Amino acid sequence: MVRMKRVHYFAIMVLGLSGATERLSPLLAQEAEAAQEAEVEIRPERRARDEVRIGSDFHLPVGKRSKDTTVVLGSAVIDGTVDGDLVVVLGNATVNGKVNGELVVVAGSANLGSEADVRNNCVVVAGKLDRDPAARIGGDVVALASGSGLPGFVGPMFAWLKNGPLLARPMAPKVPWSWAVAAIVLAFYCLLALLFRRPLQAGVEAVETRPLGSLMAGFLVFLLIVPVLILLAISVVGTVLIPFLLCGLVFAFFLGKAAVYQFVGFQMSSSLRSTTALSLLALLIGAAIFLLLYLIPFLGFFVWGLVTIWGIGAVTLASFRSFRRNKPATQAPATVTFNPPQQTVQTANPPVIASVGASPVASAGAPLASAPSAAISYALAGFWIRLLAMLLDFILVGGVLAVLRAQKLFLFVWLVYHVGFWIWKSMTIGDIIVGIKCVRTDGQPMNVAASIIRALASVFSAMAFGLGFFWAGWDRQKQSWHDKIAGTYMVKVPKGASLV
3-state DSSP call for residue 153?
A: helix
Cα–Cα distance between 336 and 47 in angstroms, integer? Answer: 78
Over the chain, what is the mean pLDDT? 78
Within 13 Å and on the Cβ side, how many CA atoms surround 350? Answer: 21
For residue 434, report the phi and psi dihedrals to the nearest 5 degrees. Answer: -90, -10
Q: Tell me: pLDDT of 259 over 90.
A: yes
**What is the pLDDT at residue 366?**
42
Cα–Cα distance between 55 and 46 in angstroms, integer? Answer: 27
**What is the pLDDT at residue 496?**
57
Q: Tell me: pLDDT of 363 over 50.
A: no
**What is the pLDDT at residue 145?**
61
User: Which of 480, 380, 392 shows the shortest CA–CA distance to 434?
Assistant: 392
Give the model's confidence band at 20: pLDDT under 50 very low, under 70 low, under 90 confident, else very high. Answer: very low
Q: Are strands 98-99 and 81-82 parallel, antiparallel or unpaired?
A: parallel
Least trusted range by pLDDT, from 6-15, 337-346, 412-421, 479-488 = 6-15
**What is the pLDDT at residue 247?**
84
Q: Edge-to-edge strands of the sheet including 109-112?
A: 58-60, 76-78, 93-95, 109-112, 128-131
From residue 197, how far is each of 267, 319, 335 by CA, in Å? 19, 14, 35
Q: Tell me: pLDDT of 22 over 80.
A: no
Cα–Cα distance between 376 and 147 in angstroms, integer? Answer: 78
471 or 289, which is more confident: 289
Report residue 187 CA to chain centroid gap.
27
**What is the pLDDT at residue 260?**
94
Q: Tell me: pLDDT of 160 over 60.
A: yes
Q: Tell me: pLDDT of 499 over 80.
A: no
pLDDT 10s digits, 224-256? 888 888 877 876 666 777 888 888 899 999 999
Under 8 Å between Cβ of 249 and 228: no
3-state DSSP call for residue 268?
A: coil
pLDDT 10s digits, 325-335? 655 544 444 66
Cα–Cα distance between 291 and 165 in angstroms, integer? Answer: 15
**What is the pLDDT at residue 168?**
84
Cα–Cα distance between 189 and 253 in angstroms, integer? Answer: 11
Q: What is the DSSP string of 393-409?
A: HHHHHHHHHHHHT-GGG
Give the model's confidence band at 353: pLDDT under 50 very low, under 70 low, under 90 confident, else very high. Answer: very low
Q: Tell me: pLDDT of 371 over 50.
A: no
**What is the pLDDT at residue 476?**
80
Cα–Cα distance between 450 and 441 in angstroms, integer? Answer: 11
What letter represents residue 107's amino acid?
A
Provide Rg for the chain, Cα atoms: 37
Q: Mean pLDDT over residues 334-353, rounded? A: 49
Cα–Cα distance between 147 and 89 in angstroms, integer? Answer: 17
From residue 217, how far is each of 197, 210, 310, 328, 384 by CA, in Å? 22, 10, 8, 25, 9
Q: Mean pLDDT over residues 53-80, rounded? A: 88
**What is the pLDDT at residue 376?**
60
Give the model's confidence band at 319: pLDDT under 50 very low, under 70 low, under 90 confident, else very high. Answer: confident
**What is the pLDDT at residue 350?**
44
pLDDT 10s digits, 181-223? 999 999 999 998 998 888 899 999 999 888 888 888 888 888 8
**What is the pLDDT at residue 392?**
86
Under 8 Å between Cβ of 456 and 366: no
Q: Mean pLDDT over residues 42-60, rounded? A: 73
Q: What is the DSSP string of 208-224?
A: HH-HHHHHHHHHHHHHH
